[in-house]
Amino acid sequence: MKIIKKRIRTTAHTQLLDVTAAVNDAVKNAGVKSGLAVVWVPHTTAAVTVNENADPDVKSDISREINKIVPWEDGYRHVEGNSAAHLKASLFGAAETLLIEDGRLALGTWQDVYFAEFDGPRTREIWIKIFPDDPA
Amino acid sequence: MKIIKKRIRTTAHTQLLDVTAAVNDAVKNAGVKSGLAVVWVPHTTAAVTVNENADPDVKSDISREINKIVPWEDGYRHVEGNSAAHLKASLFGAAETLLIEDGRLALGTWQDVYFAEFDGPRTREIWIKIFPDDPA
Amino acid sequence: MKIIKKRIRTTAHTQLLDVTAAVNDAVKNAGVKSGLAVVWVPHTTAAVTVNENADPDVKSDISREINKIVPWEDGYRHVEGNSAAHLKASLFGAAETLLIEDGRLALGTWQDVYFAEFDGPRTREIWIKIFPDDPA
């Protein structure tokens, strides 16, 4: 199945943007009942992660704390000045391998899938590739 | 192949619990000789990781150091008070994609698969989904 | 398809070594047009990551900053003295799930795949397993 590319728009410098519905739409449109969905972030200053979907304070705490741990200014040599975002991208990861069951993502009760923006706001993409398997 | 759900019990606040045997049992029971096993952690304050299986000091060093890097108290706003565990879950990751060859996980000599507890002790689950392929 | 094992040689204590061409060679030799390539690092003091392929300062900034965040000396108990490398391996991750389309890795414009050495220089391996799917 071909890669499905979706454009998204982040609105802050650091942001966890919920993309669960976009991925579930791709799964549903593909008509896949069981399998894998790999979400790929084709950028090097952003990532994909899974975290809590209930209290929005979790998102802001994660954003604030990772920015304390990986400071924006720290004598980096990279001329674009966004080396901190590059490191955060590697720590969170460019890909998430998600399970599909009963025609939708199999997530824990409190889990959603987030695009993790570390150098926004920007227009970004997520790539989704779906692998059906035999549910038997 | 349907998701296999296994219940586990963690016994400390931060803990790396070896789940290699549990995943290998699932692979063996499925009768799969070659393929992928995705281990999914359906929680947002725990993760899955791969690390050393020999000296137990590695596990305790990893636990202690990640707790220094992401301090438990740091002015977080999330009312449950476990935002540090949420960030650690995103840094370690909710999924591990493991290779299967010759009917078992293909791991390096020193590698085992660990459930990474960051807000225990709790009763937890791991979900395992196996994708057979043609070994030829 | 069987796991393809490639030997690599790192030349520094901390190093991001580009392995994109090695993985693309494996994909090409397998004759796979569409699917997944899982890159597995069978070591516990190294990892695989995806990051910028243009300015080499990004690689050195990432290496320097992760070594500041996870200091080499910090009262660790592990007798080999490389616990920092073990933690960095878990933070970056042992596996990367890459997409294949049109007979090669589907990467963003600025993305390459890197072997992340945290306790070199050493002779290392990467394992590559390719899963073809139907591109239709």
Residues 6+ apart with CB under 8 A from A111: A50, A51, A52, A53, B42, B43, B44, B94
In B14-73, the residues whose Cβ lies within 8 Å of chain A are 38, 40-44, 69-70
User: In CATH, what number is assigned to the domain containing residue A106?
Assistant: 2.60.120.460
Q: Which residue from A minimizes the CA distance to C134?
A: A1
Query: Is B136 inside a domain boundary?
Result: no
Query: Is B126 inside a domain boundary?
Result: yes
pLDDT at C136: 64
Task: Please state, in angstroms and rounded to a whole number, the distance separating the CA atoms of residues A8 and C43.
Answer: 36
pLDDT at A34: 97
What are the pLDDT digits (tens) for C65-122?
A: 999 999 999 999 998 999 999 999 999 999 999 999 999 999 999 999 999 999 999 9
Instruction: Identify how many contiguous H helices and E strands chain B contains and give both numbers.
Output: 3, 8
Query: Is C27 inside a domain boundary?
Result: yes
Q: How many angstroms from the chain centroid is the CA of residue C117?
A: 8
Nearest CA to C125 out of B108, A15, A96 is that of: B108
Measured from the Cβ of residue B109, the count of other Cβ atoms closer than 10 Å reads 9
pLDDT at A114: 98
Q: Give, in order, the Cα–Cα distances in Å from B126 to each of B18, B26, B38, C32, C45.
A: 12, 11, 10, 32, 25
Check CB contact under 8 Å for B74 and A60: no
Query: Is A56 inside a domain boundary?
Result: yes
B114 — pLDDT class (breaks 50, 70, 90): very high
Query: Is A136 inside a domain boundary?
Result: no
Portion of chain C with pLDDT greater than 90, in percent: 97
pLDDT at B135: 74
- Its pTM stands at 0.98
CB C59, CB C30: distance < 8 Å: no
Domain that holds residue B58: 4-131
pLDDT at C135 over 90: no
CB B48, CB B93: distance < 8 Å: yes
CB A132, CB A47: distance < 8 Å: no
Query: Is C82 inside a domain boundary?
Result: yes
Q: Which string of b and e fits B88-100 if b means at least 16 CB within 10 Å?
A: bbbbbbbbbbbbb
CB B75, CB A57: distance < 8 Å: no
| Low-confidence stretches of chain A (pLDDT beneath 70) | 136
Share the mean pLDDT of chain B.
97
Task: Please state, in angstroms and rounded to a whole number, the distance separating the CA atoms of residues A100 and A88.
Answer: 27
Pick from A65, A97, A109: CB nearest B70:
A65
Q: Count CA within 13 A, CB hemisphere, residue B133.
A: 22
Q: What is the DSSP letter of A21?
A: H
Q: Which residue from C minimizes the CA distance to B66?
A: C87
Query: Is B117 inside a domain boundary?
Result: yes
pLDDT at A136: 64
Domain count, chain A: 1
pLDDT at B136: 64
CB C21, CB C114: distance < 8 Å: no
Best residue in B43, B82, B87 to probe A by mutation, most A CBs within 10 Å?
A: B87
Query: Is C136 inside a domain boundary?
Result: no
- Given the cut 0.85, state whether the ipTM is greater than it: yes
Residue C129 forms contact with B (CB below 8 Å): yes
